[in-house]
């Protein structure tokens, strides 16, 4: 609509006082005046902001402000998808490794990336094609400033969630080991975000589960004749429907035993069109969303589960000087993750793990509300520790 309004203004002329007089050539308005009225198109603003961000001749404050404005623009999923069309992904990625980028600039770029790919499969896949995970993971090193480490987890969260391919790349890049170490980060915010991310990746995707169930062999309908001891008219009303179904199946099979019923498994309506730049593209393969299986495997194969339990029951002190011990928010996130592991994934614990968790629960009390658990959830978790 904005483009249409801009075109109308540019081509509008003054109304003629005399219908017979020749129409004068429309006077073109100054583009700057149009921009003042309507504002610049988002694509133009994105180009301008990125140009400032990559210009090492600008001050750090100017570059950071440009990236902040840029992040606000790509909160729109349409603008985020335009990053590929405008060839902006590579310059953004380069800012992460450029010697001319300060810690603050790199932190802002991580924020931009996390926002652009969040809940956006199209942007996720475009960015993943650049194999960016080793670079992102490098920002979780202990030598990196705490605020930047926190933003790196934010970016990872946007890249990984609901994207099984991204999780496979994470494993190839040694990412599980990095996340395991992050559970002992000196900054408690990094620990919280890491536990939350692992739990999000562990939650099974219902669409993928439904697809697996649908692909399982379905029980065949009974096509053999049923012995009827009572005529249909003598059946109770509640049985008429099932009797009718049995008779119909038998009738169709006897009519043509070699020709299956074409409507038996045919949907009533055709599938909706799948658009490549939307979540509908994933409907064709819901398993592409399911990050639970590789995460469940990593809990054991990468020793994440023991690390999570240790981080809960005997946490490493946090803070710049290790002056703080424990954190209720982090504990809640870890207990929630363990509950997901037991209830949604059917996971179990080794005897030593059970002892540690039972001792922790006895020490802290068994009030599920403390960890945001309902009574049933707490009961299932406690049963898994027996």
pLDDT value, residue 175: 98
How many other C-beta atoms lie within 10 A of the C-beta of residue 272? 8
Rounded mean pLDDT, 253-258 = 40
Local structure of 61: helix, strand or coil: helix
Residue whose C-alpha is closest to residue 29's, from 9, 1, 15 = 9
- Rounded to whole angstroms, how far apart are CA atoms 185 and 319? 9
User: pLDDT, tens digit, for every residue of 94-129?
Assistant: 999 999 999 999 999 999 999 999 999 999 999 999
Mean pLDDT of 10-15: 56
d(CA 14, CA 26): 7
Residue 281 has pLDDT above 70, yes or no: no
Q: What is the pLDDT of residues 368-382, one digit of tens each?
A: 888 999 999 999 999
Portion of the chain with pLDDT greater than 90, in percent: 63
Task: Give per-residue pLDDT as tens, 55-86.
Answer: 999 999 999 999 999 999 999 999 999 999 99
Q: Are 204 and 343 in contact (CB under 8 A)?
A: no
pTM of the full predicted structure?
Answer: 0.75
User: Angle, nearest 10°, between helix axes 188-202 and 146-160?
Assistant: 10
Poorest-pLDDT segment among 137-151, 159-173, 202-216:
202-216
Q: Which residue has the higher pLDDT, 100 or 215?
A: 100
Query: pLDDT tens digit string along 337-353?
Result: 999 999 999 999 999 99
Cβ atoms 290, 205 nearer than 8 A:
yes
Q: Is the pLDDT of residue 155 over 80?
A: yes
DSSP per position, 104-122: HHHHHHHHHHHHHHTT-HH
Domain ranges of the chain: 179-207+286-386
Please report, to the nearest 10 degrees, the dihedral formed by the alpha carbons of residues 349, 353, 355, 358 taken in order.
-70
pLDDT by residue (tens digit) across 299-349?
999 999 999 999 999 999 998 877 788 899 999 999 999 999 999 999 999
């Amino acid at each position: 609509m904005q483009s249409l309004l801009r075109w109308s203004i540019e081509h509008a002329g003054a109304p003629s006082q005399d219908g017979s007089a020749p129409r004068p050539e429309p006077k073109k308005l100054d583009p700057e005046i149009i921009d003042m009225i309507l504002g610049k198109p988002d694509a133009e603003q994105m180009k301008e902001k990125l140009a400032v961000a990559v210009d090492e001749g600008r001050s750090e404050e100017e570059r950071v402000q440009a990236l902040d404005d840029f992040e606000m623009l790509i909160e729109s999923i349409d603008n985020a998808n335009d990053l590929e069309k405008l060839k902006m992904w590579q310059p953004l990625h380069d800012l992460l490794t450029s010697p001319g980028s300060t810690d603050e600039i790199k932190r802002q770029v991580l924020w931009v990336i996390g926002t652009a790919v969040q809940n956006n499969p199209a942007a996720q896949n475009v960015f993943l094609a650049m194999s960016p995970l080793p670079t992102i993971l490098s920002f979780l090193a202990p030598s990196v400033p705490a605020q930047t480490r926190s933003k790196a987890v934010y970016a990872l969260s946007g890249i990984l969630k609901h994207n099984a391919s991204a999780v496979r790349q994470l494993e190839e890049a040694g990412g599980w080991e990095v996340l395991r170490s992050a559970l002992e980060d000196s900054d408690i915010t990094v620990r919280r975000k890491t536990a939350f991310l692992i739990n999000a990746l562990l939650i099974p995707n219902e669409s993928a589960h439904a697809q697996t169930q649908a692909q399982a062999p379905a029980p065949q309908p009974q096509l053999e004749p049923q012995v009827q001891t009572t005529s249909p008219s003598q059946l109770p009303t509640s049985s008429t429907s099932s009797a009718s179904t049995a008779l119909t199946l038998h009738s169709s099979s006897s009519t043509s035993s070699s020709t299956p019923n074409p409507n038996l498994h045919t949907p009533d309506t055709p599938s909706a069109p799948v658009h490549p730049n939307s979540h509908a593209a994933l409907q064709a393969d819901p398993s592409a969303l399911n990050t639970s299986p590789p995460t469940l495997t990593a809990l054991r194969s990468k020793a994440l589960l023991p690390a999570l339990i240790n981080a809960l029951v005997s946490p490493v002190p946090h803070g710049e000087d290790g002056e703080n011990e424990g954190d209720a928010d982090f504990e809640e996130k870890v207990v929630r993750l363990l509950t997901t592991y037991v209830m949604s994934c059917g996971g179990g614990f080794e005897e030593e793990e059970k002892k540690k968790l039972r001792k922790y629960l006895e020490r802290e009390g068994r009030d599920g509300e403390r960890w945001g658990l309902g009574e049933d959830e707490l009961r299932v978790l406690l049963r898994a520790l027996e």
